[in-house]
Amino acid sequence: MTRHGDHDERIEVRRGMFGVSGTGDTSGYGRLVREVALPGESPRPYGGYFDAVVDQLAEALSGVDVEFSDAVEKVVVFRDELTLHVRRDQLPQVAQQLRDAPELRFELCLGVSGVHYPEDQGRELHAVYPLKSITHNRRIRLEVAAPDADPHIPSLFSIYPTTDWHERETYDFFGIIFDGHPSLTRIEMPDDWQGHPQRKDYPLGGIPVQYKGAQIPPPDERRAYN
């Protein structure tokens, strides 16, 4: 079952492909126009075990004096996956209840993925956490947004120690700062590297390669279409 809200959130209209402009277009992609939209909030019933997870989380949060609506911005069911969009200040509390509540028991956090939406003003940076319950054989996702001007999200290291390197990698490539991480340093790029290479505003070329002294030219300088 694939469900999502009737009012998806349009954040951008893209023209062409690959983010390249000002060069000769021999591909035919230059005239493409595509809306970029994020799935809107889903109506109930969500289907499958999703309703039970949401209800059980709401009950667990109420037990620690947290209202579900204060912690979760929206519930999205899209392509047969449940995503809880969590307010960043409530992320540790939500994760703690998802891990510890007997009816939930999401014992594993399978990683942290960064996403960059430059046009999503005030919510440019997203962190996504897939969770797995071995006890109940269930999977869900948490998603948290932060503004580019304040790219701070609480670390989940104390709740899910397996996020240690995943948070470091997301920091390295996207610039999200995970507050409370015991050693938030770069994991793949050199310590003094400028910028975060998987952000969409990062240049596609023209970056000096530190170890060989070479330089990759920008896309519009790599080939001439004369």
Number of other residues whose CB lies within 10 A of the CB of residue 64: 9
pLDDT at 6 over 60: no
Domains and CATH numbers, the chain: 1-38 (no CATH), 41-216 (3.30.460.80)
Render 62-79 in DSSP notation, one character per residue: HTTT--HHHHEEEEEEET
Please report where in the chains the tokens 């109506």 appear, as a residue: 43
Give per-residue pLDDT as tens, 60-99. Answer: 999 999 999 999 999 999 989 999 999 999 999 999 999 9
SS3 158: coil
pLDDT at 216 over 70: no
> Residue 126 has what pLDDT?
97
Among 192, 224, 186, CA closest to 208: 192
pLDDT at 193 over 60: yes
Give per-residue pLDDT as tens, 146-177. Answer: 999 999 999 999 999 999 999 999 999 999 99
Give per-residue pLDDT as tens, 9-50. Answer: 777 777 776 665 665 666 667 778 878 778 889 999 999 999
